[in-house]
Amino acid sequence: MIPGTFDYHRPTTVESAVALLMKLGEDARPLAGGHSLIPLMKTRLASPEHLVDLSAIEGLRRVEVEGNDVVIGAMTTQHSVITSTVLAELVPILRETALVIADPQIRYKGTIGGNCANGDPGNDMPALMQCLGASYQLTGADGNRLVPARDFYLGAYETALEPGEILTEIRIPVPPAGHGYGYEKLKRKVGDYATAAAAVVITMVSGTCTSASIGLTNVSETPLWAAEAAGILVGSTLDAATVDAAVAAAEAITNPASDMRGPSEYRTKMAGVMLRRALERARTRAIA
């Protein structure tokens, strides 16, 4: 539990952070809240020679409405997500999700950008971002580019980030007023990653589901956007047969590892149970 030797950098602008990462190459890692990276370093599963701490950069901690989007700076802490009145009003599922991440102490340090950028399949925010149709602003030497969360995750700890790039902003289209939502997470204890979790956002008109989006956490090497399952729900009254079919479709795309949380088949089934429960909660919340 003793990390190897590393140098520590604390740039104050995104430009200088990017320049540092470009210069230092593969031996450097950006550091946000540190809750994924530092445990890896302490067990020497990661041994970066340079840490580029992003916490001194002004402007990466913000929550603002821009047109139809909510924009969240990458260094916004989970605690700030929980306490933001703007987010509570416009995208309440963010708060619901952040509240089941780790514990209060960690949420004071852990950031939404780090949670999204790290590519750890256990993180909760990535599947939620896929569910919400969010995009990530990646800043590199050539400036900014926008990548949809649904295209960002390539494998466990593998993302669309190019060398030197930093995830600086998350852009979330505000779901329609009256939408129903739910994030259901099964975990063994406080602070644990999900055995399985599901994010659901739906809209209902006169008892009929008019749109649906589903994200699944920690049941594959990447977060999963369950497009087919969501498609099955649209146009239905969320009757039992339809929900069963959607759950089956969602379960079908999972591929969880067997670990101490349980064998693969259990975790797949739990993805289904979490989806069912998240959907039920979303239905009760949707203003039809």
User: What are the strands of the beta sheet with 180-186, ordered from one edge?
Assistant: 180-186, 196-205, 208-217, 224-225
Segment 124 to 143, residues that bind another protein, using CB under 8 A: none
Question: What's the CA angle centered on 16, arms 35 and 65, to 5 degrees?
Answer: 65
Number of residues that bind another protein (CB under 8 A): 23
**Shortest CB 52 distance to another protein, Å:** 21
- 3-state SS, residue 214: strand
Nearer to another protein, 23 or 44 (CB): 44
Decide if residue 263 touches another protein (CB under 8 A). yes
**Shortest CB 249 distance to another protein, Å:** 17
Decide if residue 104 touches another protein (CB under 8 A). no
Considering only 14, 52, 226, 270, the residue that binds another protein (CB under 8 A) is 270
Q: Which of 1, 101, 122, 114 is nearest to 51 (CA)?
A: 114
How do the residues of the chain divide into helix, strand and coil, expressed in percent and rounded to 5?
35, 25, 35
Considering only 177, 240, 241, 260, the residue that binds another protein (CB under 8 A) is 260
Nearer to another protein, 132 or 275 (CB): 275
**Shortest CB 273 distance to another protein, Å:** 5
Q: What is residue 208's DSSP assignment?
A: E
Nearer to another protein, 96 or 169 (CB): 96
CA distances in angstroms from 100 to 41, 60, 265, listed in the order given = 25, 23, 23
Segment 186 to 225, residues that bind another protein, using CB under 8 A: 186, 188-193, 195
Q: How far apart are CA 54 and CA 29, in angstroms?
A: 10
By the criterion CB under 8 A, which residues form the site for another protein? 1-2, 4-5, 43-44, 103, 186, 188-193, 195, 260-263, 266, 269-270, 273
